[in-house]
Amino acid sequence: MMAPHETGVDADFRQRVVETMESVLKQLLERDEPVTEDMRLMDELNVNSLLALELLLRLEEQLQIQINVETMDPDKMETVADLATFITANHRAL
């Protein structure tokens, strides 16, 4: 189990991931409406396989991190929240 201060750091970082994802997705999808955590990436936002990789790359660049994609199961990344939680737990700072 994580210590409370670690949880705090993770929660803060996760929030940053969510905010960055929302802004990147709006840009990638040329979307004016807000993107929220509960939205389904593929079914609702039409994020296809190729766009998903571009999203990851932009997140890496903007957050200055490297995501451990080798452990990512795309089938489990259903929503914006799922992906944000995965990235929070599976990245290293650059």
Partner 1 sequence: MTALDAVSVYLPTARLSVESVAEQLELSEMQVKLFRRFHGLSDVRYDPELSLSDLLLRAAAGLTELAGQRHRVRYVLWGRAFPVVVPYPVNPLHEVCRTLGLDHALSFTVTQQSCASALLAIDLAGRLLAGDPEPDALALVLTGEKGFTRDARLLPGMSLFSEGASACLVSATGDRDRLLAYACSQRGEFDKAGSESTEAFLREYWPTLAEVIRRALEQAGMDLAEIALVLPHNVNVVTWQRVCLLLEFPAERVLLDNVARNGHVFCTDAFANYQTAREHGRLRPGDRYLVAAVGAGDGATFAAMIFEH
Binding site for partner 1 (CB under 8 A): 48-50, 53-54, 56-57, 60, 69-74
CB of 57 to partner 1, least distance (A): 6
Amino acid at 63: L
Nearer residue to partner 1 within complex by CB, 69 or 81: 69
Nearer residue to partner 1 within complex by CB, 10 or 62: 62
CB of 83 to partner 1, least distance (A): 15
Residue among 42, 47, 11 nearest 28 (CA): 47
Nearer residue to partner 1 within complex by CB, 5 or 92: 92
